[in-house]
Structure 1
Amino acid sequence: MTLQPNRIYQGNCIEKLRQLEAGSVDLVFADPPFNIGYSYDVYDDQRTTTDYLEFCEAWIREVHTALKPNGTFWLAIGDEYAAELKVLAQQLGFHTRSWVIWYYTFGVNCVRGFSRSHTHLFHFVKDPDDFTFNGENPAVRVASARQLVYADSRASTKGRLPDNTWILRPQDAPAPSFSPSHDTWFFSRVAGTFKEREGFHGCQMPEQLLGRIVRVSSNPGDLVVDPFGGSGTTLAVAKKLGRRWNGFELSKEYVSRIEQRIEGCEIGQDLDGPADPQKSAPKTARGKTRTKFKNGRPVISLDSETESSVIEAFTEASDGHSTDYLLCDPKLSKRFLSACRERSLPGDARMWNSFLLRIRKSGKLPKSTNSGRRLSYTDMDPYSDGSESAMRLVGIDYGMTLDEMLCSPQAASEFDQLAGMFSPGYSSFEYRWAALALRKRAGTKRYRTLASDQQQYWSQQRTPNRFALEKCLAAKYDCPGVYVVLFEDSVLYVGETQSIRDRVEKLLNTEAWMNFAPTAVRVWFLKDEQKQFGLRSFLINRDKPLLNSEYLRQS
């Protein structure tokens, strides 16, 4: 039996892991029972040491089998068996990349020992030379001390990644001696009074902690597995971040509660809890933070001298094109960044591009005199779906708007690569321009009104039956219309196109699309562009597909 993704299965995790296709899983996160006598509803947490280690060896062996050759395994474990399970995992073929300490408040009080306020997080990989580690993802990185405290113009806007540290209390530590990017991670436990507490399971992990692990060790569309479903946090986070997921749980009661929790989650929804808990923790000593933050990112001041230099660099590099055109054209964008460097501007590429958009908003940039290449919706039809899907996935994973993606060379490159995987054969300019065109169209008053006016009409129409994707390869489907791509009962994507046949043929022959395991399609034959947009907007707002842009949900 092969298990279907996006399901929680009740049963023994060893048996369920064996039902996964070997080498099919990208990331496993496991938070097993610690064998400390905790009271679960069906599991005995007081095994002998020999019995417990044999149990762990069995399920870790199956994890190794289920993972892809470049797969990653994260293990959360307490002090009692941390050393034993680290050695055991290595004996079974894993390589240790990191030994992270999760430090939390609301620690466990001990009478004859120091109160426990940490859990071990082991980061294992199958291949030490080939594994996923998205260290450039800005949602994984955190602000440096130069950003947080000193407002240093030399600080990289990307923030920084981990260094090794020991710490007693992060609230009292002088910056930068503690940071959530260290291998000692500070996240509060999900205590009983916390809003995100589900209530039915006493060992709930924080969503932000799982978010960091899922983001750094997997990509959108990857398969994430949790052998010990527990409160369902791993699965909820995987769904919110656009991953496929499987969970196993011994307790029928927990399975039922997890299903309710997952049902209440939406793809792209914010993770619960503070992304940077150090900022929400009270400090013993008062201090000043000079850098202001908006949406978790530093807001850098723009003085008049820097503003003038950015305008000069843009005028020199743009060849009379608009700001959007420059950001979409890699050659012009590179020329602008070179002009900024020549003027020794403070900051980096992301900051300079952000300054450019801020200056445009203030109306101080010269007007465009060169319209350049113009693309119609018909021109963009062969790749607009790939552009939209890439925009959606990078937006979920990086926590960025489209403007923020285009300002960040790393995110823009990731967007280009993803769009090329969904719709091969086109240029970065075409992919980026299609994304901007979609946003502009969705935000236009005319189209927003059109979508609103058609909502009631489409809600009263019959939904076409689903059928196999291959049926769309027939000649009768070489026509305009709206189509819905399904994975079982879940909607993956809603598209409008000039040729349903061409879109579905590409889907069937493109690995990026097939990674989402589409199983069926629905089709509406529509020639009128306005009706296409109205129906598409209605379906996206009703079904909330994984791969459609947030901009269309607002239409």
Structure 2
Amino acid sequence: MANIKYQTNKGKIIEGNSIELLSGDMKEELKGSVNLIITSPPFPLNNKKQYGNEKGDEYLKWFVEMAPIFSDLLTEDGSLVIEIGNSWEPNRPVQSLLHLECLFGLVKHPDANLRLIQEFICYNPSKLPSPAQWVTVNRFRTVDSYTHVWWLAKSDFPKADNGKVLRPYSKSMLALLKRKKYNSGKRPSEHHISEDGFLKDNGGSIAHNFFEMEQVDNNREVRLPHSVLSFSNTNSNDYFLKTCREKGINPHPARMSGGLVNFFINFLTDENDLVLDPFSGSNTTGYCAEKLNRKWISFEILKEYIDQAIIRFSETETNHQLVETYE
């Protein structure tokens, strides 16, 4: 029996080990019904964190065993989006290949049916220097400032619509659309640009697979997709962080970016589709899904992070009453 701790009119938070629950009691209940699994599992760090993380071969085994579970949960056109950071060899200034082995393990698992659709890069210039021993102490390496985001699916053609995550046009493109002409013809790259190929107003330009979580250059306009909410894990004005400070709570140290979650929910699902996060932490995924009118299920093994999740839903702009079922 699932131990539901909080629920709203669209979703619920379940306390417990998601892999055990989704392999057992909940397997048949959710089989083939999840449109999007989006998560940031514990990264393979050399130092043990409070939120739990394995290392080396143990991490690889744990990670790869999720492949058939996730494959069974997804609808035939469903997607799996996983964010994972880099790792380093213990006590060595050498980057580990563990994250790549994890990816290969997912797509090559004999009991799963997953393939890599596209890789995204999530760049965060505010990340602390890491690995500290080889960046700030010995100064052998540069700052590890990005994470990988893998989009996998059961089908070569999963549900997706990049028209729902368009970026605003640049000023030069807006000017081009206004004057209705540009230099067409053959380019040095040998591409041939037609006379009217860029004259149709599609409402924006197609998004890139590079996420700039904070503006790198203040003199350059950052054009995020319309659907991406402008809040960042490092934003001091974020409602969640402000409330945590007021209550003397140490927030989850590895929160997934809300803008990232919003992007993929809009890109890969429709309203009332089901979104699932097996490692939800303070439940950014559920919060975003609720605001975007998707059904959602989140799992978290630590009670203190479930307690933090309620803070997100206490924001008045959420416009959804959270029903407390805490025992």
TM-score, length of structure 1 as denominator length: 0.42
- Measure, in 2, the Cα distance between the counterparts of 1:172 and 1:260: 32
State yes or no: 1:158 paired with 2:203.
yes
State yes or no: 1:143 paired with 2:150.
no
State yes or no: 1:26 paired with 2:35.
yes
1:82 deviates by 2.9
Q: How does 1:510-529 map to 2 (within 5 A)?
A: none
1:89 deviates by 1.7
- Measure, in 2, the Cα distance between the counterparts of 1:216 and 1:105: 25
Q: Is residue 256–residue 284 contact of structure 2 (8 Å, CA) maintained in 1?
A: yes
Q: Is residue 239–residue 245 contact of structure 1 (8 Å, CA) maintained in 2?
A: yes
SS in structure 1 of the partner of residue 166 of structure 2: coil
Superimposed CA distance per residue, residues 492-546 of structure 1 (whole angstroms, 9 cap, x where no aligned partner): xxxxxxxxxxxxxxxxxxxxxxxxxxxxxxxxxxxxxxxxxxxxxxxxxxxxxxx
- Measure, in 1, the Cα distance between the counterparts of 2:51 and 2:209: 39
Larger radius of gyration: 1
Q: How does 1:19-418 map to 2 (within 5 A)?
A: 19-20=26-27, 21-37=30-46, 40-41=49-50, 43=52, 45=53, 47-80=54-87, 81-92=98-109, 93-109=113-129, 110-111=135-136, 112=139, 113-129=141-157, 131-137=158-164, 140-146=165-171, 150=175, 152-153=177-178, 154=180, 156-163=201-208, 170-171=216-217, 179-180=223-224, 189-191=232-234, 193-198=236-241, 199=244, 200-264=251-315
1:85 deviates by 2.1
Report the equivalent of 1:8: 13
- Measure, in 1, the Cα distance between the counterparts of 2:220 and 2:317: 38
- Measure, in 2, the Cα distance between the counterparts of 1:85 and 1:265: 40
- Measure, in 1, the Cα distance between the counterparts of 2:150 and 2:316: 27
1:68 deviates by 1.0
1:195 deviates by 2.1
Structure 1 letter corresponding to 2:18 = C
1:231 deviates by 1.8
Q: Is residue 104–residue 188 contact of structure 1 (8 Å, CA) maintained in 2?
A: no
SS in structure 2 of the partner of residue 142 of structure 1: coil
1:159 deviates by 0.6
- Measure, in 1, the Cα distance between the counterparts of 2:121 and 2:275: 22
SS in structure 1 of the partner of residue 299 of structure 2: strand
SS in structure 1 of the partner of residue 127 of structure 2: strand
Higher strand proportion (structure 1 or 2): 2
Structure 2 letter corresponding to 1:158 = G
Identical amino acids, percent of aligned pairs: 22
Cα pair distance change 1:254/1:172, threshold 3 Å = closer
The gaps in structure 1 that reach 5 residues or longer are: 270-488, 491-555
1:149 deviates by 6.6
Q: Is residue 121–residue 211 contact of structure 2 (8 Å, CA) maintained in 1?
A: no
Structure 2 letter corresponding to 1:191 = T
SS in structure 1 of the partner of residue 217 of structure 2: helix
1:62 deviates by 1.2
1:165 deviates by 7.1
1:60 deviates by 3.2
- Measure, in 1, the Cα distance between the counterparts of 2:211 and 2:166: 19
1:174 deviates by 6.8
Superimposed CA distance per residue, residues 392-433 of structure 1 (whole angstroms, 9 cap, x where no aligned partner): xxxxxxxxxxxxxxxxxxxxxxxxxxxxxxxxxxxxxxxxxx
Superimposed CA distance per residue, residues 286-306 of structure 1 (whole angstroms, 9 cap, x where no aligned partner): xxxxxxxxxxxxxxxxxxxxx
Cα pair distance change 1:265/1:222, threshold 3 Å = farther
- Measure, in 2, the Cα distance between the counterparts of 1:164 and 1:8: 30
- Measure, in 2, the Cα distance between the counterparts of 1:164 and 1:7: 30
The gaps in structure 2 that reach 5 residues or longer are: 5-9, 88-97, 130-134, 181-198, 245-250
Q: Is residue 106–residue 189 contact of structure 1 (8 Å, CA) maintained in 2?
A: no
1:196 deviates by 3.9
Q: How many residues align?
A: 261
- Measure, in 1, the Cα distance between the counterparts of 2:316 and 2:38: 19
Q: Which has the higher contact order (CA 8 A, sep 6+)?
A: 2
SS in structure 1 of the partner of residue 125 of structure 2: strand
1:249 deviates by 0.7
1:259 deviates by 3.1
- Measure, in 1, the Cα distance between the counterparts of 2:69 and 2:219: 41
Give the root-mean-square deviation of aligned CA atoms: 3.4
Cα pair distance change 1:267/1:241, threshold 3 Å = farther
1:37 deviates by 4.3
Q: How does 1:417-456 map to 2 (within 5 A)?
A: none
SS in structure 1 of the partner of residue 78 of structure 2: strand
- Measure, in 1, the Cα distance between the counterparts of 2:277 and 2:210: 29
